[in-house]
Chains A and B, each alone.
Chain A
Amino acid sequence: MRNTVNYFLISPALLISILIVFIPGLLTVIVAFTDWNGVSTTPNFVGVQNFNELFVDSIFWKALLNNAKWTLMFVTVPIVIGLLTAMMLLKRKKSKSAYQLIFLFPYILAPTTNAILWLNIIFNPVSGVIGYLQEIGIPIDSPLSSVDTALYAVASVDIWHYWGFLTVVYLAALRQTPAEQIEAAYLEGCNGWQIFRYVYFPSIRPTFNIMFVMIIIFSFLTFDYVYLLTGGGPSHSTEMLSTYAYTFAFSAFQVGKAAAIALFMSFFGLLASCLYIWMSRNDLKN
């Protein structure tokens, strides 16, 4: 009887998980092996054809490489900025809250707002900062227009919106560090770096690990800023797996191929999740 009640109580959550996670996930796997165009009622089973076509598609590999570069940038730049800023804010008594609010501001704005702001106020060659610099004789072009710089320009905007969030998360974790450990470290004559390395960092490691893994997962799912700022261009220089899948699904009517790309994205997310489980187990052992 107790079991029945338990099953009944979990049934809403279970039902929702089945309906919006498990079934769509399963359908995505099935569709990846078909030539479904998104509207047809009779898709054909094509085996691994979608995967074979992707493996010889240079744009797919470029998108994968861009995702890897993106991940590398995101597991370094915003983490370093976030940790540094959080450490600096830790010592501030009165202004801490105000700074957190300011740093968090880009994060709470909608991606569309941020993208429009950067496109029109910074990168615009007519009315933006770039246009102004050109007008006063500084030979500068919008980094979004070059195949060599566009990816870094888009990543910069996304990092600009994201690092404040990391700062707030790290700061919250840092504040949980036991005060006696910090005092003891000072009494032992530790310098700032040593206190961070041997006291603060071990204390925030679980938070650091989960954020690290989440960044990897989100990096392989990234879509909004790329789509809004460049649409994957110029010449696919900012193409991501997500934007490429979107093009296949909604412009080329090749939903089967889009699903195949989605499986790759999920695969990398799964790898990151495995990494997190491994790190958590190691932490528990230690």
Chain B
Amino acid sequence: MKKKLVGLVTIFLVMVIFAGCSNDSKTTADGKEIITMWFWGAPPEHQETLKKVLIDKYNKSQNEYELKIEYRNSVDKDISVALSSGKGPDIVYGSGPSFVIPLAEAGRIENLDKYAEKYGWKDRILDPIYESGTVNGSLYSLGNSLNTVGIFYNKKVLKDNNWPEPKTIEELEKIMDEAIEKGMYASVTGNKGWKPVNENYSSLFLTHFAGGEKVYEALTGTTKWTDPTIIDALDTSADWYKKGYLAGKDYTNLTFNEATQLLADEKAPFFFGPSLVYQFAAQSFSGDKAKDLGFMAFPTKDHETNEPYYTLGVTATLSINAQSKHKDEAAKILDTMMTNEFMNEMTKTWPGYWGVPLKGLQIDTSDMPELSKAYAETIKNMVDGVNKGHFGYYSGVFLPPATQQIFLDIESIWNEQMTSTELMKKVQVEFDKEKEKGLVPPIPKPSE
């Protein structure tokens, strides 16, 4: 009896262990191997575009594999949890190079050097973006799209109020003051529902007020984050916030979607935001209104040099799971996403998210709708600017994760919860720790 009991308990334990270890089937009904990719919860129309341009095309191109994309609202968290347990999708979506470094160092994602050589990625991809995807000299991620923070503006609002397109910060401030006097928002934006939106503004003030060169020095450790130029830039951000230049009191009450709607409704002349906002603008600047939307690079404090100047960033990164059984095929898919053809086709119906960072970007805007044309133009100008070295840095891309979290606290300066110096002292402490651990991505040098 005792032996039977021991046997039963053993069987039960084995069943429990095997139940925990069992894996989902990775084959379709018709015997194709499944390649998975997790992506953020994009709206249905954008999912449809990705299906047509990437999934269907790839699946029709061969008979052995089937690409499946799973849309998840908490993709970053899901991916780090899944990868840490040796699971997760074949193609790994990440929110930036600083997200990738811990994964690469832990051996959770694949070294892409051999694929870079095979597909010639180093020759095709913009150097600063390619470099930002490397860890200890090896490639681990590819930026899917360029992203920069600039000025969206409503051309009709500027025209109706006889405001010229601002070329300098002084002109910009003058228009915003007049807009406030007229009862409008000076500009619209907001971080409702997504606090990391703050990174756009910490990056904007670092790039355009402190300057790319100064931030480069801080990122490479030749100057401190408490440098007076950086402190001044952050103080200016607080002045702007208090003057109502960043959506007034509604900064925490607006999403990007609502902000673009307000811009379209002529409630504000400007929206300072990332170029990926084009994807939200498609809803509010539809039909004839599409031609009213303009985008320009943000002027710099010393506007006579190096303009237009760009905050260099990527919207997301793509890597390959080290546990994937289909690494070669995943690399092939990544390669198709790093082409002019992919950029043009995606941008046609999904502007804002697929400005592929190619050195030789060739854009065919002949059959693109208005917004897609404008976005393609923005990316083209940005590529020119980046090639000339006219850039600063997106904090979410070039800062290590814990330091980046402190930069998101820029609103604490705005709300007088701490001073710029106090915040930058915290940044310096955390940055030094992360730099020692090798968590700072390679920093491309801007032109002087």
Contacts and interface: CB of A to CB of B under 8 A. Distances in A.
Interface of A: 1, 4, 8, 11-12, 15, 37-41, 119, 123-126, 130, 141-142, 144-145, 147, 230-237, 247, 250-254
A76 to B, nearest CB: 27
Given A8-B8, A233-B191, A126 B412 contact: no
Nearest to A233: B195
Given A236-B409, A253-B401, A37 B106 contact: yes
Given A235-B411, A250-B80, A145 B193 contact: no
Contacts of A236: 409, 412, 417
A145 B409 contact: no
Interface of B is mostly: helix
Given A11-B12, A37-B102, A252 B405 contact: yes
Contacts of A4: 2, 5
B105 interface: yes
A253 B253 CA distance: 28
B258 A40 contact: no
B253 A125 contact: yes
Contact of A145 (B2, B80, B250): B250
B104 to A, nearest CB: 9
Given A235-B417, A251-B401, A39 B103 contact: yes
Contacts of B107: 41
B431 to A, nearest CB: 13
Contacts of B182: none
Contacts of A251: 196, 401, 404-405
A252 B412 CA distance: 18
A56 B12 CA distance: 49
B261 interface: yes
A124 B258 contact: yes
B83 interface: yes
Contacts of A237: 415, 417
Interface string B312-350: 000000000000000000000000000000000000000
Interface of B: 1-2, 5, 8-9, 12-13, 16, 76-77, 80-81, 83-84, 102-103, 105-108, 191-196, 249-254, 258, 261-262, 401-402, 404-405, 409, 411-412, 414-415, 417
Nearest to A145: B252
A237 B252 CA distance: 12
Nearest to A37: B102
Nearest to B249: A141
Nearest to B265: A126
B443 to A, nearest CB: 19
B411 A234 contact: yes
A145 B249 contact: yes
27 contacts: A4-B2, A8-B8, A8-B9, A37-B102, A38-B102, A39-B84, A39-B106, A40-B106, A119-B193, A125-B254, A126-B262, A130-B253, A142-B249, A145-B251, A145-B253, A147-B415, A231-B193, A232-B195, A233-B195, A235-B415, A235-B417, A236-B409, A236-B412, A247-B405, A251-B404, A252-B404, A254-B402
Given A145-B250, A236-B409, A40 B195 contact: no
Given A125-B253, A235-B415, 4 more contacts: A124-B253, A142-B252, A145-B249, A236-B409
B402 A250 contact: no
A144 B102 contact: no
**Pairs of residues from A and B, 4 with the lowest C-beta to C-beta distance, nearest first:** A252-B402, A235-B415, A39-B106, A235-B412
A247 B404 CA distance: 11
A231 B195 contact: yes
Given A40-B106, A141-B249, A253-B401, A119 B5 contact: no
A145 B77 CA distance: 27
A93 B98 CA distance: 63
